[in-house]
């Protein structure tokens, strides 16, 4: 992602939506580092077993796997929602201490059923981590013991993730290192988009900076520029532009009879608008040739064992603040071209 226009920056200090009063926060460079902190914290209480969604990004479980935890997948539905009864059946089958990693994907927010699930898991004896990465613009507290959110997936920040808890944890976070080279890559992308640079050198910079950032999961404090960004982003403006983009694209896809997994609504600010198409990878490739870049969440897990088939039909259409209504119509147009 490149830097944002000034309309998304506030002069005064803003409280980020995930900073719930009364909670404790730690800020680290990546979501993986945040999860690694929790893996260590929970291991000190004797936890070594994790129940995690069976459709996920491997980064979400790698800190547990590398620390020798046993990780079992619980079922996600074809709409990529948690299958509550499958998760509860797994939870009831546990004998020792165990942790559950929950995640509402693509902007869905906790509802009463989700909060009841968290309560039920507590009742069975689990500690619960809620991954808010896809809903950082309006996370709403689910009652989990811990929450984490990676910020660089949805916000114009080079790095950054939070860990939130209501206990008295003293997270051990290492010293800050020089500002992530991803910031330099973002600056360079901005200059390229503004026509000041002719070459797309930012691509190499992003690649190198990501490799550096993701080389390990040692928790490191965020740098000054990320901290500054978190404190001054105009979250209301970011929410508004995302919702208005999502509404335009959603209406256009409705007109084209293309089903969306996560249409925008009063309790859903889409992180992307997710659709299901035959051979998503081929469609993704054809759309990229037309200059429209859509992520696939996610490639098949290499860390979860006992995996059955892995869906190959989900494609995530971007709706974030970098775009406007015209872009949304272009995305829909290129989708039609790529699928016909
Ligand atoms: C839902 C979710 N949570 C956590 C992470 C990990 O975040 P990070 O890439 O900042 O380590 C990812 C990464 O893709 C993710 O998709």
Distance, in Å, from the CA atom of 91 to the CA atom of 100, rounded to the nearest integer, reads: 8
- Is the predicted pLDDT of residue 1 greater than 80, yes or no? no
Question: Which atom of ligand 1 is nearest to 105's Cα?
Answer: 1
pLDDT of residue 291: 94
Examine the pLDDT at 261 and tell me if it is beyond 90: yes
Start-end of CATH 3.90.1150.10 domains in the chain: 235-339
Closest CA to 185 of 169, 166, 209, 163: 209
pLDDT band at 7 (very low <50, low <70, confident <90, very high): low
Q: Does 30 sit in the ligand 1 pocket, CB within 6 Å?
A: yes
Between the CA of 225 and the centroid of ligand 1 the distance, in Å, is 21
Q: At what angle do helices 325-339 and 235-255 cross, to 10 degrees?
A: 40
**Among the ranges given (45-54, 253-262, 301-310), the one the predictor scored with the smallest mean pLDDT:** 301-310
Dihedral over Cα of 114, 118, 124, 126: its sign: positive
- Smallest CA separation from ligand 1 atom 15, residue: 57
Tens of pLDDT, residues 154-202:
999 989 999 999 887 788 899 998 777 888 888 888 888 888 888 888 8
276 touches 314 (CB < 8 A): yes
- pLDDT at 206 (0 to 100): 84
**Each residue of 151-180: b (16+ CB within 10 Å) or e?**
bbbbbbbbbbbbbbbeeeeebebeeeeeeb
Q: Is 150 in the pocket of ligand 1 (CB under 6 A)?
A: yes
Q: Which pLDDT score, from 0 to 100, does residue 75 have?
A: 96
Query: Where in the chain is CATH 3.40.640.10?
Result: 14-165
Q: Which of 36, 59, 64 to mutate to test the pocket of ligand 1 (most atoms within 8 A of CB)?
A: 59
Two tokens, residue 295: 């992520």
pLDDT at 210: 87
Q: Which atom of ligand 1 is found nearest the CA of 151? A: 10
CATH architecture of 14-165: 3-Layer(aba) Sandwich (3.40)
User: Structure pTM?
Assistant: 0.94
- The closest residue, in CA terms, to atom 8 on ligand 1 is 31
CATH of segment(s) 235-339: 3.90.1150.10
Peptide bond just before 276 cis, omega within 30 deg: no
Output the CA 149–ligand 1 centroid distance in Å.
Answer: 8
pLDDT tens digits, one per residue of 36-78: 999 999 999 999 999 999 999 999 999 999 999 999 999 999 9
Q: Does the CB atom of residue 62 touch ligand 1 within 6 A?
A: no
CB of 131 closer than 6 angstroms to any ligand 1 atom: yes
Check if the beta carbon of residue 247 is closer than 8 Å to that of residue 264.
yes
The pick from 18, 36, 55, 60 for probing ligand 1's pocket by mutation, whose C-beta has the most ligand atoms within 8 angstroms, reads 60
Q: What is the 3-state secondary structure (H, E, C) of 135-151?
A: HCCCCCCCCCCEEEEEC
138-157 pLDDT per residue, tens: 999 999 999 999 999 999 99
């Amino acid at each position: 992602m490149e830097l944002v226009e000034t309309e998304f920056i506030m002069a005064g200090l803003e409280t980020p939506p995930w900073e719930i009063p009364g909670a404790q926060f730690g800020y680290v460079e990546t979501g993986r580092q945040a999860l690694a902190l929790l893996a260590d914290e929970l291991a000190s209480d004797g936890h070594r077993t994790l129940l995690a969604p069976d459709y996920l990004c491997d980064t979400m479980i790698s800190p547990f796997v590398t620390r020798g935890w046993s990780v079992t997948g619980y079922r996600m539905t074809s709409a990529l929602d948690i299958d509550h009864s499958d998760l509860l059946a797994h939870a009831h089958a546990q004998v020792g201490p165990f942790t559950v990693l929950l995640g509402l994907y693509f902007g869905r927010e906790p509802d009463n059923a989700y909060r009841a699930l968290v309560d039920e898991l507590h009742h069975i004896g689990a500690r619960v981590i809620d991954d808010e990465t896809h809903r950082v613009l309006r996370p709403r507290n689910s009652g989990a013991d811990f929450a984490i959110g990676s910020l660089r997936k949805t916000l114009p920040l080079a790095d950054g993730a939070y860990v939130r808890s209501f206990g008295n944890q003293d997270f051990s976070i290492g010293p800050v290192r020089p500002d992530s080279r991803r910031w330099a890559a973002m600056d360079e992308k901005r200059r390229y988009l503004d026509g000041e640079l002719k070459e797309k050198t930012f691509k190499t910079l992003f690649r190198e900076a990501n490799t550096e950032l993701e080389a390990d999961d040692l928790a490191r404090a965020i740098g000054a520029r990320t901290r500054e960004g978190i404190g001054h982003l105009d979250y209301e403006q970011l929410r508004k532009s995302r919702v208005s983009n999502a509404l335009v694209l959603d209406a256009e896809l409705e007109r084209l009879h293309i089903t969306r997994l996560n249409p925008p609504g009063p309790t859903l600010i889409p992180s992307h608008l997710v659709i299901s198409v035959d051979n998503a990878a081929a469609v993704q490739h054809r759309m990229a040739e037309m200059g429209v870049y859509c992520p696939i969440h996610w490639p098949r897990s290499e860390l979860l064992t006992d995996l059955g088939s892995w869906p190959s039909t989900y494609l995530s259409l971007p709706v974030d603040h970098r775009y406007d209504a015209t872009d949304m119509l272009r995305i829909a147009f290129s989708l039609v071209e790529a699928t016909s």
